[in-house]
Amino acid sequence: MSTVDSKWSCVVLLAGTMAHVITHGFITSFGILFIAIEDTYGGRKAQIAWISSIILGCLYLIGSGIGLVFLPTVVSVTVYFDKFRGIACGLALSGCGIGNLIFSPLTEYLLTEYGLKGTLLLLSGLMLNCIPCCMVYRPLNEKRRSETSKDHTTEKNQTQGHKISSRAFDALLDRNQEEIQDLNEFEQEAGDKFELQQRETETAMEKGTNNENAFNINFPPKCSVLTRYVILMKTKATMLFFTSQFFFIVGAYVPFIFVPDKAKYHGIKEDDSAWILSTIGITSIVGRIVLGSFIDRKFIDKKILFKMVLISSGLITVICSWLNVFWMLVVYAVIYGIMIGTAVSLTSVVLLDIVGSSCITDAIGLNYMLSGIGGLIGPPLAGTLFDVTSSYSATFLFAGGSMFVSGLLLTCL
C-alpha cells in the first residue's frame, strides 16, 4: 500500500526526477536541433521556432504530449510527501537542469554520429523511458476509496429495495422543499460574506498593507471552475501576477532555442554552443536548490526577490544581444541559469502567498494555461525578428524586454 513519506515516496521522487530529466532535457536542448533542422530542411527562423512553440503549448496549455508526463509528475511528487515536500519538489525540479546539462552535448554528439533522422529516432527511444517512470505513480488511499465506493453501491441497492408510498413521498417532498429554501438562504448569506471579504481584500490592496494574508482569496460555495477562474482574473493581485508570468514565459525560452544559432552566427563552433546550453542547465540547478533553500528564511522578502530575479533575467538577456564571443556567452549562461532556476523555485511560493492555500490549485492551473499561451507565441515572434532584421540583436532585445516588463508589473503588488 502506497503511503505518504514512505519508502515508496522515494521511488516516486527518483522516477519524477528522471521524468523531468528526459522531458525538459529534450525541450531545453531544442536549440541544437534547431540548427540541424534548418541545415536539413531550410526554412525561416520563425517557421522552425513553431516546432518548439507547439511543444511548449502542449506542455502548459493543452496538457498533451510531454504535458501528460510533466503535470502528473509534479502532482505525484507533491502528494507523496508531506514533511519533506519542499525538499522533494526542489530535488524533482532539479531534474530539469540536469536534463539540460546532459541532453545538449548528447544531442550534438548524436547529430554528428547519426544525423538528424537517427538523432530523432534515438531521442524518441529515450522519451519512451518516461513510461516506466510514470508507472510508479500509484494512487494513494486506493483501498479506502474502494471501500467508500462499495458502501455507496450497497446503500444505493438498499434504497432501491424499499418502496415509498404516495403519502410518504409527498411528506418527503415538502421536507426537501423546506431544506432547499434553507439552503438558498445559506448560499445567499455566504455570497454576501464572500462579497464583503472581496471588498476588504481590495481595500487592503489599495492601502498597501504589509499583512501576509492581505491578498488571500476566498471562493463562494459550490462555484464552478470557470467561476473560480473569473474571480482570480478579476482580482488585481492575481491578474498582475498572471500577466507578469505571461510576459516572462514569452521571453524565457528564447535563449534556450536561439543561443546555439546565435553562437553559430558569430562563428563559434557548434560543439561549444552546446556547452553554452549545458552551462545554463548547471547553474539553474544552483538557482533551484541552493538559492531556493533560502526562500523560507524570515529575513528574505520572497516577493521582492522574485521581482529582482525577473528584472535581472530581462536585463542580462538584453545585454546578450551585443555579446558575440564564446566566453561572454558562457558568462551570460551562468547568470541567466541562476536567475531562471530561482524564478522557477519562487513562482509557486509567491503565488501561494497571494491567493492563499484554498485557491492555489486553481491558481496554478490558470497560471499554466496563460504561460502556455506565452510559450506558444514567444519563439515564433523572436524568430520573425531575426528574419526581418537578419540579426539576433532584435531577437534578444525582445526576449529581455519581455522579461523586464514581467518584473516591472510585479512592482505594482
Q: What is the pLDDT of residues 202-234, one digit of tens each?
A: 454 444 434 444 455 666 667 777 888 888 888
CATH 1.10.3720.10 for the 7-140+230-410 domain, yes or no: no
pLDDT digits (tens, 9 = 90+) for 105-120: 899 899 999 999 999 9
Collect all residues with Cβ–Cβ distance below 8 Å to 283 and sequence separation of at least 6: 97, 333, 334, 335, 336, 337, 338, 341
Q: Which of 261, 224, 218, 150 is nearest to 359 (CA)?
A: 218
pLDDT digits (tens, 9 = 90+) for 169-208: 455 445 555 544 544 554 455 455 445 555 544 454 444 4
Residue recorded with cell 507523496: 80
How far does Cα 34 stand from its chain's mean position?
A: 23
Q: What residue ranges do the domains of the chain occupy?
A: 7-140+230-410
b/e burial code for range 23-60 (CB count within 10 A of at least 16 → b): bbbbbbbbbbbbbbbbeeeeeebbbbbebbbbbbbbbb
pLDDT digits (tens, 9 = 90+) for 9-48: 889 999 999 999 999 888 888 888 998 999 888 888 999 9
Task: Enter the C-alpha cell of residue 322.
Answer: 551585443
Collect all residues with Cβ–Cβ distance below 8 Å to 377 and sequence separation of at least 6: 53, 250
Computed on alpha carbons and rounded to an integer, the radius of gyration of the chain in Å comes to: 25
Residues of the chain below pLDDT 70: 1-2, 63, 86, 141-221, 291-297, 357
CA distance 59 to 19: 13
Residue recorded with cell 498597501: 208
CA distances to 43, 45, 48, 98, 381 from 384, rounded to whole Å, are: 12, 7, 10, 30, 5
The answer to whether 374 touches 248, Cβ cutoff 8 Å, is yes
CA distance 74 to 16: 8
> For residue 21, what pLDDT is reported?
92
CA distance 110 to 115: 7
> For residue 71, what pLDDT is reported?
76
Q: Which of 58, 70, 61, 57 is nearest to 376 (CA)?
A: 57
Residue 351, judged by CB atoms within 10 A of its CB (0-12, 13-18, 19+), counts as: buried
pTM score of the predicted model: 0.74
> For residue 141, what pLDDT is reported?
62
DSSP label at residue 357: T
b/e burial code for range 261-298 (CB count within 10 A of at least 16 → b): bbbbeeebebebbbbbbbbbbbbbbbbbbebbeebeee
Percent helix, strand, coil in the chain, to 5, is 80, 0, 20
CA distance 241 to 341: 18
CA distance 21 to 77: 15
Task: Count the Cβ atoms, other than its own, within 10 Å of residue 250.
Answer: 26
The answer to whether 265 touches 316, Cβ cutoff 8 Å, is no
State the greatest distance between any 2 C-alpha atoms of the chain, in Å, as a whole number.
Answer: 91
Question: What type of residue is 358?
Answer: S
DSSP label at residue 137: -
